[in-house]
Amino acid sequence: MQVFVILPAAGLGTRMAGPQPKQFLALGGIPILIHSLRTFAAVPRVTSMYVAVRKQETERVESQISEFGFAGRVHVVEGGEKRQESVANALSALPAQPDDIVLVHDAVRPLIDAATIERTIDAVAETGAAIVGMPAVDTIKQVERTAHGALVTATIPREFVVQAQTPQGFRFGLLQRAFAEATADGFVGTDEASLLERAGIPVAVVHGSQVNLKITQAGDLELAEFYLQQRNRH
């Protein structure tokens, strides 16, 4: 059984103002994307990694891959306008068999840890599909959007809610099937798990971590710097 990792990194990061996409910003002096790749590269069961980037970023990413010693283990593919297109492009490049495992990880979650990756691989091997998630801490409200804001329509019990993180892992065959059905129907999901849910495929949840944050705003980068410093001290 092989394990492939896909990192969609073609986003422009519009929620974080700056001259370059957030996946290329420095965290502890190293590009955010490289932090993510390093952790997956340290997991022995990971066969190879595929990064989906915009065409104009290909040369920069290939240079970073070489600089940080990932040549031969990390492959670059062209991404799309949407995350789903980027993952689909990478999927088509994988030399995978139906029972192989594919992990999809946000390139801007640089503090993922090897133990969580291992737990996700184990869960996928057992169930066929699994995501990393965190139990909701705050009270969750369902709302109706109006011209003047939002009105609460219901309170959702927290025990029925998890906050999805990545990696999200699947048997290659199941992920292919879910993507094919979504493409045929013109459906665009918010993450890979939503495509499998739509296809009627059960998805398990692996416990995640608050440290596995997604960097979307300037404050997230500061928090990630803090977590990285704490990790390096231990």
Q: For position 43, which CATH number holds?
A: 3.90.550.10
pLDDT tens readout for residues 34-58: 999 999 999 999 999 999 999 999 9
pLDDT tens for the 234 residues of the chain, in order: 999 999 999 876 555 555 567 888 889 999 999 999 999 999 999 999 999 999 999 999 999 999 999 988 999 999 999 999 999 999 999 999 999 999 999 999 999 999 999 999 999 999 999 999 999 989 999 999 998 899 999 999 999 999 999 999 999 999 999 999 999 999 999 999 999 999 999 999 999 999 999 999 888 999 999 999 888 887
- Is residue 185 assigned to a domain? no
- What sign does the dihedral 81-97-167-49 (CA atoms) show? negative
Which ranges in 13-93 belong to alpha helices (H)?
A: 32-41, 58-67, 83-93
- Residue 55 is predicted with a pLDDT of 92
128 Cβ contact list (under 8 Å, min separation 6): 170, 171, 174, 201, 202
- Is residue 141 assigned to a domain? no
- Is residue 195 assigned to a domain? no
- Is residue 94 assigned to a domain? yes
- Is residue 121 assigned to a domain? yes
pLDDT tens readout for residues 182-221: 999 999 999 999 999 999 999 999 999 999 999 998 889 9
- Is residue 151 assigned to a domain? no
- Residue 234 is predicted with a pLDDT of 72
- Is residue 120 assigned to a domain? yes
Query: H or E element: which one contains 143?
Result: strand 140-146
Domain that holds residue 92: 3-132+164-176+207-233
Query: CA Rg, the chain, in Å?
Result: 18
- Is residue 137 assigned to a domain? no
d(CA 210, CA 137): 11
- Residue 18 is predicted with a pLDDT of 58
